[in-house]
Amino acid sequence: MELSGEEKKLQALFSELKAADEQTTPHFGATWNRAQIAPRRVRIFNPAFVAAALLLVFGVVAFAVWSRHSRTATSPQPVIATAPQNPGSTAGAEAPPAPTSETPLPQPKTAVVLSRNKTTGQRNVMLSAANRKLQKDAKSIASWTSPTSALLESPSDEIFSSLPELNQSATQLKSFLPSRSN
Amino acid sequence: MKTDQIDIVELQDELEKLHSASFGWALSCCRRDHAEAEEVLQTVYLKILEGKARYRGESSLKTWLFAVIRKTAIGEYRKRLVRSLVFLGSSERHDTGVSPADAPTTLLEKSELQKQFRVALAKLPARQREALHLVFYEDLSLSEAANVMGISVGSARQHYERGKKHLREWLSHTETENGIVWRRKETPSAV
């Protein structure tokens, strides 16, 4: 490599630097021996390991948060199947059979379907509280009567709202048939 | 020379031959910090002894060793940086500000120009300083320097040329300031 004038100057400066460094260079044997007797360092704080661990922890936390959110978003609402409404409000021949005086007041039938098991007691408590509220609401709706329902009442209501029973005699059953004029 | 064939005694001999140059290179990689350079070199030897750094004969032993030194110096520098950030104010090292290289006896030997040269060299970007050091100080070719620095020959040439340009500017500035007259040769660069 042929050097120009300035390069030669630089070369000279580097050579001077090298000569100065050589004077302060530690002895090879000393450095080599120190390296040989140096304790083998056990790397506890391995950056790669720490990064991997952090990433894993982050992943687990993210998954936990995501699963919690998705559960609340898709958690099934309590399905409420209510019994037939108060018979008084629906008067008519095609109305469903009215409960007799012996039959108890139809209770709202609640069927709470939960697709997943609850993981925490807190969620269970909250759900049961919600169910209790729903039952209460259903009861109040079932016992509601229209303020004008009294106007619809007539003496023949009993006939319309009652059905012949199987253990009645034939003559009694005939009373339900329309009378023939021929 | 293949590593597999080199036993530790043979390797030790080779390393001893290269020790002075290795220390010079470690000094350059450690921004002329004598203690740090010594520690880096010791770590490099430890790596070799433990088999963490293994010579595979893909390049010359010197090139390989220099690459290991450079990598180790960068790693040690990062560690120091992290430590200094963690333990702000309570530095582990008791830096007196005067390295053994700057001891009074050696300071006397240094010319004013040499001191200024060191300052100018320290101001250069790391890659440019490395390229210049490898070529001028260690007498390596540009391809060998590129190998040590882990870059392409083209990039190494660019760093070398830029570094040289900076030092030329510094030289001309110093000449005019100090009234030093160098005999210029108008030979173009052949590198």
A16, B100: Cβ pair inside 8 Å?
no
pLDDT for B98: 44
DSSP A20-81: HHHHHPPPHHHHHHHHHHS-----SS-HHHHHHHHHHHHHHHHHHHHHHHHHHHHPPPPEEE
CB B69 within 8 A of CB B23: no
d(CA B158, CA B143): 12
Chain A contacts in chain B segment 9-28 (CB below 8 A): 12, 15-16, 19-20, 23-24, 27
Judged by a CB distance cut-off of 8 A, whether residue A28 touches chain B is: yes
Band (B141; pLDDT cuts 50, 70, 90): very high
Neighbours of B155 (CB within 10 A): 14
CB A25 within 8 A of CB B23: yes
Chain A contacts in chain B segment 57-96 (CB below 8 A): none
pLDDT for A63: 93
> Is residue B119's pLDDT more than 80?
yes
pLDDT for A108: 47
pLDDT for B175: 72
Going from the N-terminus, what domains does chain B have, and what CATH number goes with each? Answer: 1-96 (1.10.1740), 110-180 (1.10.10.10)
Query: Phi-psi bin for B150: left (phi > 0), alpha (psi -120 to 50), beta?
Result: left
B151 compared with B2, residue with greater pLDDT: B151
Percent of chain B clearing pLDDT 70 (strictly above)? 77
The whole-chain average pLDDT of chain A stands at 73
Q: Which stretches of chain A drop beneath a pLDDT of 50?
A: 79, 81-103, 107-114, 118
> Is residue B83's pLDDT more than 90?
no
CA distance A43 to chain B (A): 13
d(CA A172, CA A104): 27
What is the pLDDT averaged over residues B35-39? 91
Using an 8 Å CB-CB cutoff, list chain B residues near A2: 187, 190
Q: What is the ipTM of this complex?
A: 0.73
B190, A40: Cβ pair inside 8 Å?
no
